[in-house]
Structure formats: C-alpha cells, structure tokens
Amino acid sequence: MSSDTPDRADEPAGAAAPTGETAGHRAESADRVKSADRTESADRAESAPESALETALHQLEHAAAILDLDENVVERLRHPARVQRVSVPLRRDDGTVEVLAGYRAQHDGARGPYKGGMRYHPEVTEEECVGLAMWMTWKCAVMDLPLGGAKGGIVVDPKELSHAEHERLTRRFAEELRDIVGPNADIPAPDMGTDAQTMAWFMDAYSVQEGEPSPGVVTGKPPEIGGSHGREEAPGRSVAIVAREALAYEGRPLDDATVAVQGFGSVGASAARLLDEWGATVVAVSDVNGAVYDPDGLDVRSIPSHGEEPEGVTRGVDDDRLLSNEALVRLDVDVLAPCAVGNVITGDNAEAVRADLIVEGANGPVTFAADAVLERRGIPVIPDILANAGGVTVSYFEWLQDIERRTWASERVFEELEEEMVAAWEAVREEYDRRDVSWRTAAYVVALRRVARAHELRGLWP
C-alpha cells in the first residue's frame, strides 16, 4: 500500500522523444554510470533481501555518486532527523491493559513539514520506519512537493482489535506523538491497518488537546471533516497517467495498448478503469485468489474491486477465463502494472516476463534481482516513487484545503494531479535521456538533487 494512499480523459501529453546524440555516442561518463548501475543491481541481486532502510541507503549512495554531491550533505541524509519511540497503553475490552510499542521516524524536513503514513502491523520496527521515511523524502521530492519524509506505526495486529480498541489505541497514540506532529510539523496519513476513520480519531484527539480544530494534522480523513475528494483513487490515477506518458514516450498509442493489472484494490482498480476509459484494452486483473483474463478485453467496471467486494474478482467466472497470479505476470502485454504487494517480480520469474513495459503501482513489486534481469532484457520499469505518487500528491492538496478552509471539487483535484504528475514525469524523463540510466535511477537523481539543494541553501546551524 502506498505510504500516502488514494475524470478527466485527457489525451496523452506527448513526451518528447530522445534528442541529440545516440546512446552509443554519449559521453563516456554517462556510459560508466549506466555500467555501474547495472553492476550494482547485479551485485545486489546476488545478496540476501535488504531491509527498507538498507534499500533506502543503497538508493541514496547510488544517486549521490551520479550527482557528485557534497559529502557533508549526503552524510546528513543518511540519518533520520528524529525517531520517537513511545509506549502506548491500550485498555482492552475485557479491562486488561496491554502496552504496545509505537514509532514515528522523521527523516528530512529541509523542504517542508514531514509527511508519511501511520501503520498498524505486527511487524512494524524502528528500522523499517526509518527506511520508509527516507523513501517518503524521495517521493515528495520527485513530485516537487514542499514536504519531507516520515513514517510511523504501532506493533499490533489490527485484525485483533475491536472497533472500540482501535479507537482508544489511536487516540492514545495521538497524545503520545502530540509534541512532534502538527499541521506545520508532521502530518500522518493512512497506511497498512489504518484508514480514514483512524485519521478522524487521530485528528479529533489532537484537536481536543490543542483546544482548537486542527484538520491539517492528518490527511486521508473523510471529506466531511476536511478530507479531500479523489484521494482514495489518486495512487491508481497516477499509475494510469504515468503508463500513458510512458507509452507516448515509446511512440505507442494508448488505444492500441494491452494492459494486465496484478491486484484489484483501490490502486489497481482505479488504474485499470481509467486506462480502459482512455482507450486501452485491459485483458487481465487479479486479486489474491487469481486472475480473470480475456484477450479481447474485460469490462473492468463490472468487476468488483477489493473494497467493493473482497476477493470478488474471480467469483462466478468460468474456469477457461481464470489464470493464476503467476501466469498474469507472464502475459504478453504492452503494460504490466503490479499493484498489489511487494516482491511480485523476482529473479526467479523475471526471465518469463513478456510485457513491454512495467509500471509499479505497489511499493517495491520488482526486486533488485528482477531489476537487473529486466534491464538486461530491455524491459523498462517505471518506479513506484513516481508511478504511485498520486497518493501523497492529493494528500498535499488535502493539506492545502485544510489550511485554506476551502474544499476543492473532484474535477479540480484531478486537474491539479494531472498537472503535477506530468511535470514530475518530464523531470524524470529529462534525466533518463540525459544520463542514459534506468528510469528508477533517473527518478532518484531528480529527488536527491532537490533535497540536496534545499540543504545547501539552508546551510547548517550552528
């Protein structure tokens, strides 16, 4: 799930084709960068799986080497600005009290208030929060949002919480974090195991203690109390926009494209339905139980998303139209959009991928090992840091609406998101063309350059 998760049928904004010298005649330094890019990916492919923090640090070091940044700035970015660990006492419905561990990591605030999700999950760790906070720093920067990265959560299984326990836990967590969060300090949002109702409780608890309404302390709230229209579908919408731009860059008409979407939750369903609306042929979608497939195209609006009917994608479908999730990944399509969970395309199945383009809707669906294989095979991967950034972008819009005390119509939200996504795509495309690196590396170069420049301008005090 995106750490800050979320109808205009515009024609593709034509991304400029590569200009100037061909890749074979580009500067020797660019060739060395791409060679190093591949070598590093291959080296990492042979190692054990990395944690979120290890991955984030790897990405930082690689992009910093390409940009030749001031080592003092890079050293600051290797470390979070703050990590708050709290004990959260929870009174269970039977009257017993359980003390749970909670965290809030704030990575970098050079460009603005911290921003990032708040998750309830039994495997939440301090290290994970730090790594994911770094990723949020890069995601906000690649979108050029005036925000920094944060992430937090509580070590708890939300499935074992009653509705009342969930509320009591959230309100107490808000109190424990009250000194470090706020509309101009750190703005949480929904993540794994939390939702709009969680954010409503958090906002209310914070507001009561502050003595005034503070809707801007969180995003992802219900629209009735300061949330934004269009936020739930925003990550999927951004996936569709980026897929459209990537196809245009390759000179492929969207209305001739075939698409397979792995995962039909809020991200996958929104992406599939929008691409269908724009003229693409969606031939397969899936949920945890498998995929439904039709080479002539599916009526994706008649297929229930996970939120509309959990595990309903394959229910009642004839056997001859069913595929496994593994088979969906191997379909011969123009666009493959993994929108469910991480580590879907790995070193074990990357050789079998037949899609011409991969757009990451989930966070981390393509492993390092797969990245190396796909790059060798010439299959471009548009990274999650760009593709699913619609969630944090509309969260930013929500924050602006809360500050202005004025609600935007859905049409304005979608128009503003379109503009921001195309601008971000163009910034990444320019680096991709100029440096002859992977799309993933190009995105991190854009993000790190912006964060580093903010540090250079602000300096270090004292």
Catalytic residue numbers read 151
Total Cβ atoms within 10 A of residue 75:
10
Angle between helices 439-458 and 52-67 (to 10 degrees): 80
Q: What's the distance, Cα to Cα, between the start and end of the chain in Å?
A: 39
**Where does 177-279 have alpha helices with state H?**
196-210, 234-249, 266-277
Angle at 230 between CA 247 and CA 184, to 5 degrees: 110
∠ at Cα 54 (49, 58), nearest 5°? 105
Q: Are 234 and 393 in contact (CB under 8 A)?
A: yes
Give yes or no for a contact between 440 and 381, defined as CB atoms under 8 angstroms apart: yes
Angle between helices 52-67 and 28-45 (to 10 degrees): 170
The 3-state secondary structure of 372-428 reads: HHHHHCCCCEECHHHHCCHHHHHHHHHHHHHHHCCCCCHHHHHHHHHHHHHHHHHHH
Name the packing angle between helices 163-176 and 196-210 (round to 10°).
50
Nearest one of 136, 160, 158 to 149, comparing CA atoms: 136
Total length of the chain: 462
Least Cα distance to 4 among 130, 116, 132 occurs for: 116
Q: Cα–Cα distance between 267 and 383 in angstroms, integer? A: 15
The strand ranges marked E within 300-352 are 322-323, 335-338
